[in-house]
Amino acid sequence: MRRLCIAAGLALALSLTGCGGDDDSDSADADGVRTVSVGMLPIVPTAAMYAGIEEGFFEDHGIELEIETGQGGAALLPAVMSQELDFSSSNPVSLLTARDKGLDVRVITNWSDEKETPEEAVNAVIAGADGGLDSAADLEGKTVAVNTLNSMGDLTIREAVRQDGGDPDAVEFLELGFPDMPAALAGGRVDAVWVPEPFMGMLLAEGNVMVTPPCVVAAPGMALQYMFTSGTLAEDDPELVEDMTAALNETLEFAEENPDAVRAQITSVNPNIPEEAAANLKLEGFGTDLRLEQAETIGALMAEEGWIENDPDIDGLFASADQG
């Protein structure tokens, strides 16, 4: 079974209807197939999930996925903790913030990675060609849109500005959904936007310019998203977590080795992207490496910014992940 259930714009209030949140969301049917809800972002790496479904990796492990989409990992995270969702993707900043607040979130595997050079970057700060923004330090006194405040975007942008000799406190951040950013940039509502693919490629193709690839600057090769669950689910149903992890790892390995299969599913994530454009978009890295060294770098930056009160809980976050 490969039925998908897609809900656009999952709000922070998490009033989910139609898809996740059913009392039997992870119960098995007569054939032993378990319906599992997973939260994802409306960005290119989510295409790998559709590729994994198409290849039957989840079906092979007795899992039928229901996919919810939301604006950012920080919005999806409460749905996992309240068991509205079984699993979700999120970035290390949101997850380490949750651990610092005492929430028992557990990474089970990697999901997608940034590349290690600016030329390969899959997310960047983009500005208009006539805006006079040539490097991170030029963002001083400017307004930059990010999808979630106090998360991956503004943390790495602040570090990029700092490394370029600028004052990160002089940058103003505005929270906008990725789909709303191109119009905000074109209309002058913001001076720059932080976007992943497919929005990065679309904006560059229109003649806009890359100001800085902040994740490459802050922690080259870092994990941009992990797949996680709640400590409650990890403890109550370890068999499901094991099967889901196995299916995800098979999906990751397939996605890394078969980029064209991932590109073929991009229109499943965003049907407004022309097929020819999807074929040329940059893909994030996939694979099962947890990128722990880079996660520690991100945790150290969060501590430096005062975003967390305690030492970053790397060990607790990855307690349910296979680190071998």
Closest CA to 176 of 93, 72, 78: 72
Mean pLDDT of 186-214: 94
**Tens digit of each residue's pLDDT (9 = 90 or more) over 120-166:** 999 999 999 999 999 999 999 999 999 989 999 999 999 999 999 99
Q: Would residue 129 count as lying in a domain?
A: yes
**Tens digit of each residue's pLDDT (9 = 90 or more) over 17-70:** 333 344 444 556 657 899 999 999 888 899 999 999 999 999 999 999 999 887
Domain extent for 134: 118-218
Q: Is the pLDDT of residue 2 over 70?
A: no
What does residue 190 show for φ and ψ, rounded to 5 degrees? -130, 160
Return the axis-axis angle of helices 152-163 and 292-305, rounded to nearest 10°.
80
**Tens digit of each residue's pLDDT (9 = 90 or more) over 86-122:** 999 999 999 999 999 999 999 999 999 999 999 999 9
**Tens digit of each residue's pLDDT (9 = 90 or more) over 313-323:** 999 999 888 77
* Helices (runs of H) and strands (runs of E) counted in the chain: 15, 11
Closest CA to 92 of 290, 268, 234, 276: 290
CATH code, domain with 44 = 3.40.190.10
159, 80: one domain? no
Q: Would residue 238 count as lying in a domain?
A: yes
Question: Which amino acid is residue 238, in one-letter code?
Answer: P
128, 107: one domain? no
> Considering its fold, how many domains does the chain have in total?
2
Both structure tokens of 100: 């610092």
Q: Which residues contact 212 (CB under 8 A, 6 or more apart)?
A: 124, 125, 135, 136, 139, 157, 160, 164
Question: Which amino acid is residue 177, in one-letter code?
Answer: G
Residue 7 confidence class, pLDDT cut points 50, 70, 90 = very low
Q: Is the pLDDT of residue 15 over 70?
A: no
Instruction: Read off the pTM.
Output: 0.86
Per cent of the chain over pLDDT 90 is: 74
For 263, other C-beta atoms within 10 Å of its C-beta total 18
Let me know: does 111 contact 226? Beta carbons within 8 Å. yes
Instruction: Look at residue 240 in the predicted model and tell me its pLDDT.
Output: 97
193, 256: one domain? no
Instruction: Look at residue 14 in the predicted model and tell me its pLDDT.
Output: 34
Both structure tokens of 268: 């499943």
Both structure tokens of 258: 């078969």
What does residue 37 show for φ and ψ, rounded to 5 degrees? -95, 140
Among the candidates 176, 202, 218, a domain finishes at 218
Residue 71 confidence class, pLDDT cut points 50, 70, 90 = low
Q: Would residue 2 count as lying in a domain?
A: no
Mean pLDDT of 241-254: 97
Question: Which amino acid is residue 280, in one-letter code?
Answer: N
